[in-house]
Structure 1
Amino acid sequence: MKTTGKSRTLKMSLAMALLGSAAVGGLILSPVGSKIADAKPIVVQAPVGAPLSFADLIEKVNPAVVTVQVTTEIEAPEQYGELFERFRNIPGFDDFMDRQGRGEGEEGESEEDEGPAPREGRSLGSGFFISDTGYIVTNNHVVENASEVTITLSNGDELEAEIIGLDELTDLAVLKVKEGGKYPYVEFELGAPPRVGDWVVAVGNPFGLGGTATAGIVSAISREMNGSNYSNYIQVDASINRGNSGGPTFDLYGKVIGVNTAIYSPSGGSVGIGFAIESTVAKEITDILIKDGKVTRGWLGVSIQSMTVEMAESQGLKNEKGALVADVQVGSPAEKGGIERGDVILSVNGLAVKDSRELTRLVGGLIAESKNEFKLIRDGKEKTVSVTVGVRPSDVDSAFNRGGSESEGEKEDEVAPEGALVHGLTVKPLSKPEFELFGLKENENGVLVLDLNRNSAFAEAGIAKGDALLEAQGTTLKSADDLASVIKNAKKEGKKNILVAVRKGRATIFLPVEIEDLK
């Protein structure tokens, strides 16, 4: 239908009227909008486990946390003595040295001939009471060289303390205040272990600022650090800095879940990666230190390594659980008890061994001179041996420096045979001088790696020129033919890897070598 100009005008008028009504309606509805604006602020209920404040917790535990002040004697470097010699004839130098605390002998005689006197050093750490009688836990590295230890309480009181016991391997120490009395103390959490994501609070003395509290979460558990096999570490992101060492990390119930011991920091300050010694380990060690003053650990006399998937496959094992014996010290409890190189230890007194760290902790917890049952796998068969463990030496590394033969006269008459090539590896039988070099016994065998293809499977496994190969798949290696035969048989059995005992210097390590592509 055709629309006339009059009708168009009428429609536009109606549209404008409707728009006007809408605008009026908006003005009429505005009081509703003002009611929304007057509504109460939005409040979101905090999730379970997220405290609105840590104040109550910190207020209760803070009196049990102390500042540890340590005084040490630092020997003056020898080069300073040479420096002093140059200035001795300068007028007034002796008087100057006396004013600096060089001291005088009897009847006023100078002791300058004895060289520079030790200087006094001071350092700070943290600690916490674990009993009302005044026992305090801190780090070994905080107090190990202390000549004097002073404890500062949260109220500012200073008390003298004595060192009860130290344990370097777990970096734990126990102190005791000399003044009697009842002291506020906290307890270790020995029940449910912390979980990743749990809230934690650290209290301590960072940079000398005593009574400092920081909060965060558990970032990871069962961390390894610095090659230590005697502790499990909890990683936390609560700020831990220098001076926090030895202080406690608490859960929300005021129980100590860890003893702060180290940080990861390229700059020296907190970057949110701190480590605390797990509470069950700390409790066990501190109890021993209070009782005996030191920790005496059991000792097998073996070097061990954790199993890998490739190692387990080469040995026909279902999983990589257990610890592989890489070497056995001559005359050690392990050798006397029948443990051999290549054994895979599965349990100790019925307690399963997950890896090498687990075995180290289990053996370290055994009573020296006690007899214990070790379940192991040898040549694919389970076997149990009884071993009387010894006392762990203070220097385990030197204990493994096994001596060889002293027959010096026979070295000159011996001519080393040329090497033979096998799968990109050039080897020759070990000679007597080389047995001495590697610290091997006279009745042992092996082949020396003279050269190898850097792209070979052996090089990729970590074998290098100058290493000695002692055995492969449990077979003693006396020549290149022995190695070739082992590889051939392993391929027939459908194995992807062979396990080779490699002597590097005076240490033995097992390395899995992939043989699928070896021609």
Structure 2
Amino acid sequence: MRYAYALSTALLLGGAAATLTLNQPAGAQTAQNEPGTISASAPRAGAPMSFADMVGKLQPAVVNISTTQRVKVANVNPFAGTPWEGIVPQGQGGPTTQKAESLGSGFIVSADGYIVTNNHVISAGNQRGVVVESITVTLPDRREFKAKLIGNDTVSDLAVLKIEGQNLPFVKFGDSSATRVGDWVVAIGNPFGLGGSVTAGIVSAVHRGIGQFDRFIQTDASINRGNSGGPMFDLNGNVIGINSQIYSPTGGNVGIGFAIPAEQAQPIIATLMKGGAIKRGYLGVTLQPLTPDMADAFGVPKGVGEVISDVKAGEAAQKAGIQNGDVVVRIGGKDVTPDQTVSHLTAGLAPGSRVPFEVIRDGRRQTLNVTLGNRPPEDQLRQLDPADENSGPGAGDVDSMAAASLGLQVRTLTPDIARQVGVDPAMQGVLVLGIAPNSDAAGKGIQRFDVILSVNRQPVTSAADIARIVTAAKNAGRNTVALFVQRRGQGQFIPIEIPR
């Protein structure tokens, strides 16, 4: 993926501290590293007898990150104008506030205290109304520092922090493009708040597409809640990924974890460290996957391309002559596939770039040169068009049987909606689109775009399913129901009180 900013490796490797290297086999040549970098031995043929030497050198640079947040909730009834309008008391004045905390991992990338982590670790998903009051970084030697947020990027889920320190241990990035399926990797982090923990496994897949832009390294190295933002190392002691998500029906590790590749993260991190803004190319279209039936109808090959279903007036696509019904098959010489989508390829190009788009129109191939625009912020995209190429689903056709008894407004999760919010299109459940501010669901942290998979361990695919299960629980004399909620690839049970 290419970005519209230069990679500054000097920023990632500066500072002076003691050089740490691992023991190497006899006769091996020691790599010359910049002062302060932590490194392991030269590549080995297979796994070592023990990871202990490697972990002992790397672990001092892996930190725990905790935040204290204040959530401001406006006293607005999301069900105004519906039969459930009365579920939220009115006339209570200004906004209410709730306190929240988050816990995750990170790693130091410079001797003077720059730290990389996930954006969701320090921003609660970047929700509107969430104010981060403080960020605390705890080193393995138990030293604590107050951290400053230098920059963050919602789309890539990356953030850079800074603590005031000198001669700190730090690690460096490696070449994730050389990572192969079957390579050994080691993950270090702070799962479940237990403190520094180490797991090892192999790479299960590379360039695994989950959301619009994400192309993850998949691994079976155990990654759990709290590992987010921690590093994934190769056997040379280099960071090749940033642990970010898991896929789990239980909320714990089941051998499917995802890390942001270093090649994708490095240019973003370098830009954030310099105080720059992340800019991405923007086409201005609505897209549909090219299903086998649609491929047959359009007379195009299966498995390659995406269909343009809407072109935004005045945006780059319209200016270049792209039309509804065009099937985009190549961008800048790269094939459009389920792993390399139009959104993914476009966002990796600089605004202002002039790029050839190869499309199939009425059975004939033609090339259109598109000068890309600048991708608007996420909230602005959703306001412009809830079905935009790069945004989440809108609430225009929310299930009319909103789960009002729990203070939730939901919608059946379809494959198209799942793709828009970056979850598995095969997932079945309901998508949360609104939460009554004073409800127990809001107090327990239910968020917009959470996916509810089950209630009381019974699968749900509609608001009617939720209402049926809640009614049955109420009739049985229960005071709560257990929602199994998936967020950013992590699942958890959340008990919600049943209003009486």
> 2:200: which partner in 1?
215
Of 198, 211, 218, the residue aligned with 1:235 is 218
Q: Displacement, 1:337? A: 1.4
Return the offset for 1:311: 4.3
Give the C-alpha shift of residue 293 in structure 1: 4.1
1:201 — aligned with what?
A: 186
Matched, 1:135 2:132: no
Q: Distance in 2 between matches of 1:122 and 1:306?
A: 38
Q: Which runs of 5+ in 2 are unaligned?
A: 1-43, 77-91, 124-130, 388-395, 398-414, 416-500
One-letter code of the match for 2:209? E
* 1:434-473 correspondence runs (5 A): none
- The match for 1:325 is 308
Q: Which moved more, 1:377-386 or 1:69-78?
A: 69-78
Aligned to 2:362: 379
Q: Which residue of 2 aligns with 1:367?
A: 350
The secondary structure found in structure 1 opposite 2:314 is coil
Contact 1:221 1:235 in 2 (8 A): yes
Name the structure 2 match of 1:336: 319
Q: Distance in 1 between matches of 2:357 and 2:136?
A: 46
Change (3 A) 1:291 1:351: farther
Answering whether residue 66 of structure 2 is matched by residue 57 of structure 1, we say: no
Match of 1:174 among 160, 170, 186: 160
Q: Which residue of 2 aligns with 1:247?
A: 230
Aligned Cα RMSD in Å? 3.0
Match of 2:257 in 1: 274
Judging by fraction of residues, say which structure has more helix: 1
Match of 1:396 in 2: 381
Output the CA distance in 1 between the equivalents of 2:66 and 2:132. 9
AA in 2 matched with 1:69: S
Q: Is the 8 A contact 1:369 1:391 kept in 2?
A: yes
Write the letter of the residue equivalent to 1:127: G
Which whole-Å deviations, capped at 9, do the CAs of 1:25-72 have from their partners, x for residues lacking one? xxxxxxxxxxxxxxxxxxxxxx94022111011111111111111111
- Aligned-residue identity in percent: 47
Change (3 A) 1:323 1:292: farther
Amino acid across the alignment from 1:134: G
Match of 1:184 among 169, 176, 198: 169
User: Is the CA contact (8 Å cut-off) linking 1:307 and 1:355 kept in structure 2?
Assistant: no
Cα separation, 2, equivalents of 1:347 and 1:182: 48
CA displacement, residues 371-392 of structure 1 (integer Å, 9 cap, x when unaligned): 3332222223332222222222
Query: Number of residues paired by the alignment?
Result: 323
**Conserved? CA contact 2:284–2:317, under 8 Å:** yes
Choose 1 or 2 for highest CA Rg: 1
Partner of 1:161: 147
**1:149 equivalent in structure 2:** 135
Determine the structure 1 residue equivalent to 2:88. none
Local SS of the residue matching 1:377: strand
Question: How far is 1:310 from its partner?
Answer: 5.0
Larger CA deviation: 132-141 vs 382-391 = 382-391
1:76 deviates by: 7.7
SS in 1 for 2:221: coil
Between 1 and 2, higher relative CO (CA 8 Å, sep ≥ 6) is seen in: 2
Encode CA deviations 1:421-475: one digit per residue, 9 max, x unaligned. Answer: xxxxxxxxxxxxxxxx99xxxxxxxxxxxxxxxxxxxxxxx9xxxxxxxxxxxxx
Whole-angstrom CA distance in 2 between matches of 1:288 and 1:127: 18
**Higher deviation after alignment, 180-189 or 155-164:** 180-189
Structure 1: tracts of 5 or more residues without a match: 1-46, 80-112, 403-436, 439-461, 463-519
Q: Deviations over 1:271-318 (max 9, x none)?
A: 222221122111132223223443222211112234355544544445
- Whether the 8 Å contact between 1:233 and 1:275 is mirrored in structure 2 is yes
Give, as a single letter, the amino acid of the residue that structure 2 aligns with 1:186: V
